[in-house]
Structure 1
């Protein structure tokens, strides 16, 4: 996904009247929400959750009993 930075900066700095420090501390999701685009983002479904689980598996901490 590529960002159209000039358009995003115009929307944030001019359209939303954000200060530069406010604009640059926003996440893309926060900026989309402020611009009213959040409704177009579909909710997470099972296949996306499975992809995230595969990409970022939980790691089991080794306990003292596991070493014995």
Structure 2
């Protein structure tokens, strides 16, 4: 994204986050683009990955001695 496009886009997204999420500017600037997209519900269904599948979770639970 060119610098000329960044400022208007950032201002628009900041305003959107303020209105919909009630975020203050510092909360907007502290968020990653992925966090903002998730908070606004912009991620397409099925695109968010947990990073931990059921099989891996089961294996970790089996090795956990503090159950």
TM-score by length of 1: 0.50
Which residue is equivalent to 1:34?
A: 39
Larger Rg: 1
Q: How does 1:1-68 map to 2 (within 5 A)?
A: 1=1, 3=6, 4-39=9-44, 42=47
Q: Structure 2: where are the runs of 5+ without partners?
A: 49-67
Which residue is equivalent to 1:66?
A: none
Question: How many residues align structurally?
Answer: 44
User: What do you get for the CA RMSD once the two structures are aligned?
Assistant: 2.7
